[in-house]
Structure 1
Amino acid sequence: MIRALALLAAFGLWSAVLTAQPLKPQTSDKDAVKVKATPVKVTGEIWEIEVVFDTHSQELSDDLLNAAVLVAPDGTAVKPTAWNGDGPSGHHRKGALRFKALNPPPDVLELRIARPNESRPRTFRWPMSRQ
């Protein structure tokens, strides 16, 4: 009986791994600046979202520790704890934003990046599957 329960538990865990889908990159292309965001880790205590900026018309001076937020289920804006990536200059930047995990986890993961001289933040949303 114990062996059968262990096999069922192992199958359940394996099924969860097989059905877990990575969250796909999303791109916002506006005002001659392309921003691509990709959640790379949304489990555990620290979540990480990779962000890439590309332009050929302006310096990328965004301060992502102050410009980016995750939106918690209650609407609270949660600032990142770290930016591990390129500094504020140039035409191409890449790095990862790190956030404390949202608790409770949201049904939809929402990242907002407020850019200088843009009237509205860039908004990226990913449905989160509950398993």
Structure 2
Amino acid sequence: MASHQGARKMRINMNVFLFVLATIFSATTGEAASPALATQSNSAAGVTVKITPRTLTGAIWTFDIAFDTHSQELKDDLEKAAVLVADGGAPQAPAKWQGAPPGGHHRSGTLQFKAVSPMPAAIELLITRQGEPNPRSFKWQLK
């Protein structure tokens, strides 16, 4: 019986040790988790655009994008209409759009960009829509 209790106590101690070790390792690897950034919404000219940053770690950064309207066809080519600006620097074109093709009144998908390195303090995603005088601006503070 004492042998069984000793083995159980050793398993508990080992689990605690592994948890502490994993916590220390994840805190010191230097790889920051993708910050939870808020969804931003912009409504103009009868079209609402919502953007949520999803992944800002690794080689590719991803943003979920949704368009909503009841007044016009959504013809935007996001690979041409969107740019990412880090810390006010040069605009970067997207690498890929994965989502609904142009057309319709509701579109959503994921816009991918090559990661910015080093991690900027702030990013701005600009979407230029045909017929609108100014690009739609979505800004997030990262640091």
2:87 is equivalent to residue 79 of structure 1: no
Pair 56,63 (structure 1): closer, same or farther in 2 beyond 3 Å? same
Q: Specify the code of the residue in structure 2 equivalent to 1:108.
A: A
| Mapping for residues 80-95 of structure 1, pairs under 5 Å | 80-95=94-109
Q: Secondary structure, in 3 states, of the residue corresponding to 2:132?
A: coil
CA displacement, residues 8-41 of structure 1 (integer Å, 9 cap, x when unaligned): 9717629x99x97401100001111000000000
Q: 1:70 aligns with which of 84, 87, 90?
A: 84
* Aligned match of 1:107: 121
Which of 1 and 2 has greater Rg?
2
2:134 is equivalent to residue 120 of structure 1: yes
2:111 is equivalent to residue 97 of structure 1: yes
| Matched positions, count | 123
CA displacement, residues 32-73 of structure 1 (integer Å, 9 cap, x when unaligned): 100000000011110000100000000000010000000033
- Say whether the 8 Å CA contact 1:111–1:124 is kept in structure 2: yes
Partners in 1 of 2:138 and 2:68 — Cα distance? 17
CA displacement, residues 109-131 of structure 1 (integer Å, 9 cap, x when unaligned): 210000010011000011103xx
Query: Which has the larger share of strand?
Result: 1
Q: Specify the code of the residue in structure 2 equivalent to 1:57.
A: S
With the length of structure 2 as denominator, give the TM-score of the two structures: 0.77
Q: What RMSD, in angstroms, separates the aligned Cα atoms of the two structures?
A: 2.6
Q: Which runs of 5+ in 1 are unaligned?
A: none
* Aligned match of 1:23: 37
With the length of structure 1 as denominator, give the TM-score of the two structures: 0.84
Percent identity reads 45
Pair 109,34 (structure 1): closer, same or farther in 2 beyond 3 Å? same
